[in-house]
Structure 1
């Protein structure tokens, strides 16, 4: 389905339907609703299209680059693609690889594997496929509320929620920030938001264009 319009009373969308003669046509629909949650995902960086144009690599529907098991491009082993730009799979089970989720731990692990593979290639050694280690998931769902699903060495996968999960979410995010200064600034920003129920927003306005600036003659006449 393809959304064609979103309004205060609902949304319109089109679907492809097959006719009796085997051809396809677009059929319009209207879904009345007062609450719309848009979860269409994100598109890959324009760099993916540039790579496809220059190297002939394939892209998925989101514009991400389809990579080899070792995160390289097909036909270009000297190029490694990681993070949100890569449509990668984890080869924990080589017979049935699984898609890698678009989360920061996966991107960091892909970066480490890509760096090691580049070193292996420089030394004439065989590269290794990427294997994603899933340590769990964290999500904050409100003030002093979060959900956590974490893999523990002894207890296995542990699930908990509420205030304790929220504190754990705060600790994990602060811990993985780079540098003491970043940790301090984020802690201060979060403390301000918690105690004042306000958020600091950095607004960068557009630069004024010549059409929005008063003309020199007009300003002098007004003076």
Structure 2
């Protein structure tokens, strides 16, 4: 048995799809300042396709999340599709193999982070989604002994802090890196959408 149920995984994806839809214009505006002005629209299209998946047709949360990852890869343009797709694929694989408690969810989050690092050839401090996800994984680990709900809440708060701290960094990866010094002071759209993902997880997976 996995750390979360298939129904919880479906609720997470549905909640995130709704949040992305509500924030698509904001994400696109952030991307307009540093990139191709398509992060919000791309993610909205991808998550709409994910939300259309029939949760009841999957026999495990890992199977659902793997399909979500593949759906994002095929429906989201730019770098976001491969990166978020890789996150969910790695997360799903670790979830299936891990224990059915908070440590299982921690292993899945860590696997997702490692997947993004490898796929994007980026690290913390490059001003990417990693600057939100890495501190979130650390916070989850610190609070995992207090249970899944507390750990996810801590992770979401850490992601938001990481997102805000990255705003003052100079981008070293992606289209934003072309701006050089001018990227300083601009909020990273990837770190923003990643924070939304972790906040969604805290709302929907907290009872795992």
TM range (shorter): under 0.3
**Structure exhibiting the larger radius of gyration computed from Cα positions:** 1
Structure with greater helix percent: 2
Structure with greater strand percent: 1
User: What TM-score does the superposition give when structure 1 sets the normalisation length?
Assistant: 0.26
